[in-house]
């Protein structure tokens, strides 16, 4: 029997939502799901090499940013990039950078992005993946 498939359209570039995506990836990896991640607009900014390790952007409850980040530290929560890396080590996870999104942030080649990225593709690949997925999420 083939693995179930999760397709994740990752629009956000904020550490709170990227951390949530990392938790979801961990759950998918524990279920041995195949995962296709499509990195869109603001997420492409976060996946650029020079931006990935910053924790300066929180999308929700921005007035609680310091408290949120302190809680992540207190709970020894791995940085979202580590959660993604761990999921990639556990199951079949592919990370695709949307070509348009990359260009918005001056990312024209795969080397412009962190090593989690597997390729640069067009949005049509996301649409096809979403149609074929057992679970499709947009974060």
Tens-binned pLDDT, residue by residue, of the chain (139 aa):
578 999 999 999 999 999 999 999 999 999 999 999 999 999 999 999 999 988 677 777 778 888 888 998 999 999 999 999 999 999 999 999 999 999 999 999 999 999 999 999 999 999 999 999 999 999 9
Residues 6 or more apart whose CB falls under 8 angstroms from that of 30 comprise 90
Residue 1 confidence (pLDDT): 56
Query: What is the domain partition of the chain in residue ranges?
Result: 5-138
Q: Distance (Å, rounded) from C-alpha 65 to C-alpha 126?
A: 31
pTM of the model: 0.92
What is the architecture, at CATH level 2, of domain 5-138?
3-Layer(aba) Sandwich (3.40)
Q: How would you list the strands of the sheet with 93-98, edge to edge?
A: 119-121, 93-98, 34-39, 5-10, 135-138
Q: Distance (Å, rounded) from C-alpha 56 to C-alpha 37?
A: 23
Q: Distance (Å, rounded) from C-alpha 21 to C-alpha 108?
A: 24
């Amino acid at each position: 029997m083939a693995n179930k498939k999760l397709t994740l359209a990752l629009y956000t570039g904020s550490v709170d939502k990227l951390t949530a995506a990392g938790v979801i990836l961990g759950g998918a990896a524990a279920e041995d799901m195949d995962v296709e991640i499509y990195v869109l607009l603001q997420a492409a900014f976060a996946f650029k090499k020079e931006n990935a390790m910053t924790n300066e952007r929180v999308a929700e409850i921005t007035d609680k940013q310091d408290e949120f980040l302190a809680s992540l530290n207190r709970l020894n929560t791995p940085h979202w990039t580590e959660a993604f890396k761990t999921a990639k080590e556990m199951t079949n996870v592919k990370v695709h950078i949307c070509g348009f999104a990359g260009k918005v942030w001056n990312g024209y080649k795969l080397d412009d992005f962190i090593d989690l990225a597997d390729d640069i593709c067009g949005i049509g690949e996301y649409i096809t993946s979403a149609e074929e997925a057992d679970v499709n999420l947009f974060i």
